[in-house]
A and B are shown apart, each in its own frame.
Chain A
Amino acid sequence: MKKLVAILLVLSLVFAFAACTGKQGNEETDPAGTATPAADGGKVYYLNFKPEADQAWQDLAKTYTELTGVEVKVVTAASGEYDNTLTAEMDKDAAPTMFQIGNQGAVETWGEYALDLTGSDFANELTTNDFNLYDDEGRLVSVGYCYEAFGIIVNKALLEEAGHTLDEIKDFDTLKAVADDIHARAEELGFDAFTSAGLDGSSSWRFSGHLINMPLYYEFRDDGVKEQPAEIKGTYMDNYKAIWDLYITDAATTGAALATATGDQAEAEFGEGKAVFYQNGTWEYANLTAADKFAMDPANLTMIPIYCGVEGEDKAGLCCGTENCWAVNANAKQEDIDATLAFLKWVVTSDEGTTMMAEQFGPCPFKSAKTPENVFFAAANDYTAAGNYVVTWAFNWEPAVDDYRAAIVDAMTKYTAGQGDWDAVVAAAVDGWATLYAKDHAA
């Protein structure tokens, strides 16, 4: 009840604000001449997915309003609350005109509310369709606006201090040999091989979402799976076990203590030089190098592929993909849709927009995109340039994501604490997939 009253109050506030500000602008001319003229009276409402990019979006929206007079409202959902917030917002009279459809599960849920972006001005700016999402009828419901890469982040300085080099690590066996050696001498060296593989909610997504991408990717590659399958076989679950065992053995924190170890803990261990390897993604670059956080030297950082003992993996690259995709609300008023498409075009073509995108999101698949300085992307590009294959984000097909991952994390927690066997993890991953897929597709 409180929530509803709060929502009502917020609504009335928004309404009042809209009434106050609605009359301004529009007459203003476009001083820079860079912005596309907006359709009359259209408004943009973006429900943003990344809390860390909120300020950048607010600033960009302000700039756009100053240039064109078109009102751009940006609301950011709290971390982990995007789906809940979107559900509530889509119910409103003033629903978001652009929002996020980041994976196949979201396409199933929100695809019918999304405009087909095929051939739109802004979609024509794309350099690749690799990160886009399509529904069953082949409509382009969501455009990937940046891509990310994850793998094992390495502190090269520590690796050398331990008497090893990056060149030694070519596959799972060599990775294990190096990690085992560092772990055995941890006391003498003052640092361990891996950061803690915490299974607290703030960290477990690295494994139930990202690490499990390895067995999923290789299985789908072997079987030629091109769309979300109704069930999986778990062919490579043993490889998943191998790499997981390595994470939870060659680290300072092991056993039941991992059940509550957090993401901040792992990040701090790596940032403070207490571990050589840290599984995470390109988005960690800012935190690791920022002067007010860990202030690591970018020259000491790089990212290597996650090796898990699959044949031919010495030719693997980093895991590249995205969950950052824009969808446009098909049920919005036509003038709002026009205004939103014009805004999107401006974001990916203008100097202000591309600068912000490069700073916040790294490399973006648009013709006018700027190059970011993030070393992890450089590593991703080096692997691709050297002819290694890109490991795509197969985990975007996980059905009923929250429940699917929660079950895997639960089984992994028991296994890690020595209170359950690995079969339960396999069951959660394989049987859980079939059950949740069926539920998701129930009539």
Chain B
Amino acid sequence: MTSKKMLPVRIVLYVCGGCLLLIGLLAALNIYSRMPLTGALQTWALKLEGAGSWWRAAVMLAGLTMIAVGLNDVDSKNTGGNALNSKLVRRPIKRMFPLFLLPTFAAFCIGFLYPFVKGLFLSFTKFKITRDWEWSGLANYKSIFSDAGFTHAFWYTAAFTLVSLIVINVFAFAVAYALTRGMRGSNVFRTVFFMPNLIGGIVLGYIWSTIFEGILIHYDTSLVLESKFGFWGLIILMAWQQIGYMMIIYIAGIQAVPEDIIEAAKIDGASAWKTLWHVTIPNVMPSITICTFLTLTNSFKLFDQNIALTGGRPFDGDIHTTEMLALNIYRALYETKTSRGPGQAKAVVFFILVATISIIQLSATRKKEVQQ
């Protein structure tokens, strides 16, 4: 079959899929009950809206699947490799691919796509429970930029991210470098350094708050009394948890640096420092890219450790001085009966921020990577 012959079929698939998706989505967002529909159309629309989440999900999934089937036909022509070109293999895969795709695709839609679309929609409304909303346009977005707590949380998060990014990566790289020198017992050390990563964030937060409080009580003060304790406490906690994980990635990177280049540098008389700076680091750039990406997004999205360690305390009037963005958003949702819309708007702004920053960071560090 050529692509030309398939064109009308594809268009039909797109249109039908799109319609189904829209019908399901409008039901899921409870828009039908507010539409000026009449007669049988209204009856059906209301039936669908009240029919329960499974029906709506099925309609939306069917629509998405149709679109995916339409899109797939274009790509399937480009498959390379001899074995895959065999008709015996290609045909069944081509025909049955939606079946294989379905579980993951459904999970993606249920767990990510649908909540995201609904969340985006709700950020333009006033709501207490999500099915019961009232359109309010950009009012939520206007309100959040005059919210001192949110602005403070943003700068606090930015400062925290910067410091933890540097601390974690410098220490992780240093530990990885030390543990690839071939010293005795380095496997034991690697295991020990990696272990903290296996403990969950909330638990870690409470464990460290006990440790910090135990120390601070000797100086007649507490974690919840001064914001600088909260800030550095969180840095120590995150460093303790994350260094081991990043270390593993750096070790893999350092071990992959070709021996011959190092040897060549040695023969040329490069000092250990110069070898590290001009040979090893450029060669582990892919690890640096992934590690900075991980620490950046982890720190920006930090929630569990934040709520468990200080919960935003101490306060300064309206401002919770050690509150990061995620916690601020969480609190907004339950603060008052009118704060859910603005909370949702904050979440959307937060998403855009994290996405933008990580894309900029990825493209910046990628440029520095060298091809071996």
Contacts and interface: CB of A to CB of B under 8 A. Distances in A.
Interface string B106-125: 01001110010000000000
A439 B339 contact: yes
Interface string A401-419: 0110011001101100111
Interface residues of A, number: 40
Given A257-B217, A417-B220, A417-B221, A436 B111 contact: no
Contacts of B339: 439
Contacts of B313: 406, 410, 413
Nearest to B226: A419
Interface string A217-246: 000000000000000000000000000000
A384 interface: no
Contacts of B69: none
Given A413-B222, A436-B336, A260 B130 contact: no
Given A87-B129, A91-B130, A256 B112 contact: no
Interface in B313-368: 313-315, 317-318, 331, 334-339
Interface residues of B, number: 32
A11 B338 CA distance: 28
Contact of B315 (A4, A83, A87, A411): A411
Nearest to B126: A443
B304 interface: no
B190 interface: no
Contacts of B224: 259-260, 410, 413
B137 interface: no
A5 to B, nearest CB: 6
Contacts of A257: 217
Chief secondary structure at chain B's binding surface:
loop
Contacts of B203: none
Contacts of A417: 220-222, 225
A321 to B, nearest CB: 22
A340 to B, nearest CB: 19
A427 B213 CA distance: 27
A41 interface: no
Contacts of A355: none
B255 interface: no
B335 A400 contact: yes
Contact of B129 (A91, A260, A407): A91
Contacts of A419: 221, 225-226
Contacts of A93: 52-53
A407 B320 CA distance: 9
Given A407-B315, A414-B314, A439-B335, A260 B222 contact: yes
B201 to A, nearest CB: 13
A311 B53 CA distance: 60
Nearest to B110: A8
Interface in A383-401: 399-400
B225 A440 contact: no
Given A109-B128, A411-B315, A83 B220 contact: no
A286 interface: no
B131 interface: yes
B337 A440 contact: yes
Contacts of A400: 335-336
Contact of B131 (A91, A414, A435): A91
Rank and list the top 4 A-B pairs by shortest CB-CB distance, nearest first.
A259-B222, A109-B337, A440-B336, A1-B111
Interface of A: 1, 4-5, 8, 11, 83-84, 87, 90-91, 93, 105, 108-109, 255-257, 259-260, 399-400, 402-403, 406-407, 410-411, 413-414, 417-419, 427-428, 435-436, 439-442
Given A108-B337, A260-B222, A406-B313, 7 more contacts: A5-B110, A93-B52, A256-B222, A260-B224, A402-B334, A410-B224, A442-B338
